[in-house]
Structure 1
């Protein structure tokens, strides 16, 4: 268990990981999904020292209920695609539509 996680977060992590394993997801992917979900919840509840803007402004994992869950680029919001484009230094990203951002991010 990461040092910053509480017992509650560890139980949440284990529950999510077990659920993913039951669905047939690999061990590594299940751990990644569980950790990302717990870390996002921690960020939204003010438990994390650092948090991305998308973690703070997006729906919580429980509100989202699997929407956009592991569907690749087509499942991400325009803001998430924009942030990816920004990290990849895509030219003209500020005037792109969601579809254009998705194409630009996927092309890199």
Structure 2
């Protein structure tokens, strides 16, 4: 069962938790477990009960937009296998090294061992 008072939650958060709880109960989850899961979901989605005084971090719209762009750039780089700055070749696995060698069009890469790939990438 969830702990603490729910007084600091908004009406919307309380309705949402109630709806989630009912949904879990319909699926056969016990009442206590359903209530605990519902409040955990609300907390995860909204960061807990609304508190007065603006205790949360506030960002300007421009700063939020920049954070989104930065996050999107990192996500794209990750999907395309671009190594993080400072990532050493030795820390990469052979598949990552092969992909990097392919992007740099290193000939004979498919028959190279890991150490040979590292040396070829350093020369390229």
TM-score (norm 1): 0.40
Higher Cα Rg, which structure: 2
- Identify the structure with bigger relative contact order (alpha carbons < 8 Å, sequence gap 6+): 2
TM-score (norm 2): 0.35
